[in-house]
Amino acid sequence: MNSTIHTIEDWQNIVDTIIPQLQHNIFLLKGNLGAGKTTFTQFLLKSLGSTDEVNSPTYSIVNEYNTPKGKVYHFDLYRLKNIEEVYDIGIEEYLDNAFLCIIEWPEVYEDELYGLKYHEMSIINTGENREISFD
C-alpha cells in the first residue's frame, strides 16, 4: 500500500486500511523526526479501541496500552546503541505477550527479526505531505 497524507484527518484513512491487514504482532514504524509516527500510533490505538492517552516513548523507551484485543507495546529504540541494550529492555518478553508491538526506529533490532513475520510502514516527510508505504 502506498498513500499520501495531506491533512491530519488522512491518518484515519491509513489506519482504516491497515487494521484489516494486520496479521503479525510486530509492526516496524520508520520515519524521520517529526514524520508522524506518534500521530499514526494515536490514530491506530484509538481505532483498536484503546482509551489510553498515547505519547511518544522517546524517554521511557516503551509505553504500554490496553485494547479490547490485548496489550499494545509502543517502542522507541532511537536512543539504544546496540542489540544488547535492546535485549536489556526485555523486548522478547514483550513480543511474546503482546497483541501488537509497534517499534519506532527499529534499525538497531532489525537483523534479529530474520525469519519472523512482521509489518513495516515508512513515513517520508516531503515538507507539505507525508508519503506512506506499508507491507
pLDDT single digits (tens) 55-77? 989 889 999 999 999 999 999 99
What is the rounded CA–CA span in Å between residue 61 and residue 66?
17
Domain span at 117: 2-134
Q: What is the CATH number of the domain that holds 9?
A: 3.40.50.300
State the total domains in the chain. 1
Rounded to the nearest integer, the mean pLDDT of the chain is 93
Phi then psi for 61, rounded to 5 degrees?
75, -40
Whether the pLDDT of residue 45 is over 90: the answer is yes
What is the rounded CA–CA span in Å between residue 34 and residue 66?
25
Q: Give pTM, 2 decimals.
A: 0.93
C-alpha cell belonging to residue 13: 484513512
pLDDT digits (tens, 9 = 90+) for 103-114: 999 999 999 998
What is the rounded CA–CA span in Å between residue 103 and residue 28?
5
User: Residue 127: what residue type?
Assistant: G
